[in-house]
Structure 1
Amino acid sequence: MELRHLRYFTVVAETGGFGRAARMLHVAQSAISEQIRDLERELGVSLFNRENRRVRLTHEGEQFLEDARTVLDAANRAVTNMQRSQRGELGKLTVGFFVGGMGPFFSSIIREFRRVYPGIQVSLVEMAPGMQYQALQAGSIDVSFTRALPAIHASQLRSEPLRNEPFYAVLLRTHPLARKKTISIRELSEETFVLNDRRYSPAVFDKVITLCTEAGFSPKIGATGSVSSGVIALVEAGEGVAILPQGSRILSSSDIVWIPLSDKDAVIDMVLAWSPKLEQPALRSFLELVRRRRKQVGI
């Protein structure tokens, strides 16, 4: 039994005749009659009463018509869904992010994407940047708001810049330098540093080390935190000073101060990253929306 048999059968039943069905389907009447006879032989029942000029459904035919319509509706729906999926209007999208890297752009994009593409199921997964790079390559997330790609991942992933974030020195409010309006990283050369663990935030760790090196010193590292909230907690506990991007300020407390770094290159990139090998229509729709919004807001 094929979908063609069901289509021919339903049109004959709905038009009340083989001739009308043939004209509607643009198929020879003899071909339709033959297909219906094949269907009846396969089912072992008569679907039509052919005694009069106008064919009528038998009792079995009436029952079969109901089920045939259900099957055809499901087939048509499957074709429609496939076409929508191909156009990037249907499917699933898993987005990686990290607290401190979200900002208003992230939340507005997610809301707008859900509104424009209600047929795409969006899942948000929080993970540190260092974990995102591996997840993108493994396919456990489709796209991520993350830091600039380390060289080891740059050949496997693709990224587009979103914005630059300035760095801040994070100090206890009681620190002797806490009243400064701006500060250079050289002024912290004698301090003990609390840094993001390189396994989880390689871009931030490497940038801080580079800034210190360019200022002429190697930082004394007292402790590391896997996430920015952990780094801030270590500063609050008196373990040292930290250098963190602006986005991490949402995790701040009243016990610490954030002082902008005056160093020229004290900025870090926020990017959108994905695996070109695993690119699918829903992801392309997301990327196009992000690109349009970036142009609109001028970033």
Structure 2
Amino acid sequence: MELRHLRYLVAVAEQQSFSRAAAHLHVSQSAISEQMADLEDEVGVRLLERGHRRTELTEPGKIFLEHARRVLEMSRTAVLEAQRAERGQVGTLRIGFFAGGVGDGFPALIRNFRDTHPGVELTLMEMHVTEQWRALQDGRIDLAFTRAPEPQMRRDIRYEVIQHDPMVAILPLNHPRASAKRLDVKDLSGERFVVSSRGTSPSVYDKVIELCMTAGFTPEIASVSTVWSSVILMVQSGEGVSILPYNRQQIGFRDLAFVPLKAKNAFVELCVCWTARRDRILLRNFREMAKEHVRTGRL
């Protein structure tokens, strides 16, 4: 049984005539007759009462017609939904992020995407950087707001840099350099450092080591924390100083100073990551919107 059998039956039922149905569908009357005979043979019951002036449905034909119309409507809906999916208007999108890496513009981006893509089921999943990379590879998320993947990950993971997050020194307010407009990293030589774990944020950890080594010293690491909020807590507790990417969430800590660094390479990249084998128009639409938010200063 094919959809055309159902379309021909609906046309005959509505036109009450093989000839008028043929004219309506722009096919020959013989084609209509053959297809209706084939349909009745396949169903095993007579669906049509063929008269000289009018063709009518039998009682089984009336029941069959109801289901035929539903099937045709479902097929039309399937086509429309497939076309919407091709345009990136429907589907599911699972986004990984980490709180220390997205600013206060991130919720606005998500709201904007929800408003412009109401047919997309969007899910947010917070996870640290290296967990995001594994989740992308495993297919647990589709996109990630994260740091640039390490070289061994780049066979599977594609990425675009959307912004550079400046690194800042995080100091207690009573630190001698707390009031500085900008800070030379070498001024922190001899300090105890609280750092982000390389296991969860390798790019930030490596950048801190790089900045210190370039400034001529190896940092004395007093504590290692897995998330930026824990690093902040350690500095507040007097464990040492730190260097982290700046984000606007840090403004609320009144007992700490966040001092920009002079070094030109004092930044880490914020990226949107995905896997090539799972890329599709929906993901590309989201990436374009994210880049637009960056260009207009809304992220």
TM-score (norm 1): 0.92
Tell me what 2:271 maps to.
Answer: 271
Following superposition, the deviation at residue 192 of structure 1 comes to 0.9
Q: In 2, are the aligned partners of 1:101 and 1:248 still within 8 Å (CA)? A: no
Letter of the 2:160 counterpart: E
Tell me what 1:59 maps to.
Answer: 59
CA distance in 2, matches of 1:195, 1:39: 74
- Any residues of structure 2 matched to 1:20-31 within 5 Å, and which? 20-31=20-31
Letter of the 1:17 counterpart: S
CA distance in 2, matches of 1:24, 1:291: 50
CA distance in 2, matches of 1:190, 1:98: 31
Following superposition, the deviation at residue 212 of structure 1 comes to 0.2
Letter of the 2:107 counterpart: S
Cα 1:288/1:230, change in 2 over 3 Å: same
Structure 2 residue 177 is matched with structure 1 residue 177: yes
Letter of the 2:34 counterpart: E
Letter of the 2:90 counterpart: L
Tell me what 1:80 maps to.
Answer: 80
Tell me what 2:243 maps to.
Answer: 243
Letter of the 2:151 counterpart: A
Letter of the 1:68 counterpart: A
Tell me what 2:253 maps to.
Answer: 253
Cα 1:38/1:281, change in 2 over 3 Å: same
Paired residue secondary structure (2:269):
strand
Spell out, residue by residue over 1:71-124, the C-alpha distance to the aligned partner (whole angstroms, 9 max, x if none). 110111111111211222221111111102212443332222222222221111
Letter of the 2:146 counterpart: T
Q: In 2, are the aligned partners of 1:184 and 1:263 still within 8 Å (CA)? A: yes
Following superposition, the deviation at residue 152 of structure 1 comes to 2.2
CA distance in 2, matches of 1:187, 1:20: 91
Q: What is the number of equivalent residue pairs in this alignment?
A: 299
Paired residue secondary structure (1:108):
helix
Structure 2 residue 21 is matched with structure 1 residue 18: no
Q: In 2, are the aligned partners of 1:144 and 1:272 still within 8 Å (CA)? A: yes
Tell me what 2:232 maps to.
Answer: 232
Following superposition, the deviation at residue 52 of structure 1 comes to 4.3
For structure 2, the residue ranges without an aligned partner over 5 or more in a row are none
Paired residue secondary structure (2:100):
coil
For structure 1, the residue ranges without an aligned partner over 5 or more in a row are none
Paired residue secondary structure (2:23):
helix
Following superposition, the deviation at residue 138 of structure 1 comes to 2.1
Tell me what 1:103 maps to.
Answer: 103
Spell out, residue by residue over 1:1-60, the C-alpha distance to the aligned partner (whole angstroms, 9 max, x if none). 222211111111111111111112222212211221222233332222223411112222
Following superposition, the deviation at residue 157 of structure 1 comes to 2.1
CA distance in 2, matches of 1:155, 1:253: 40
Cα 1:290/1:189, change in 2 over 3 Å: same
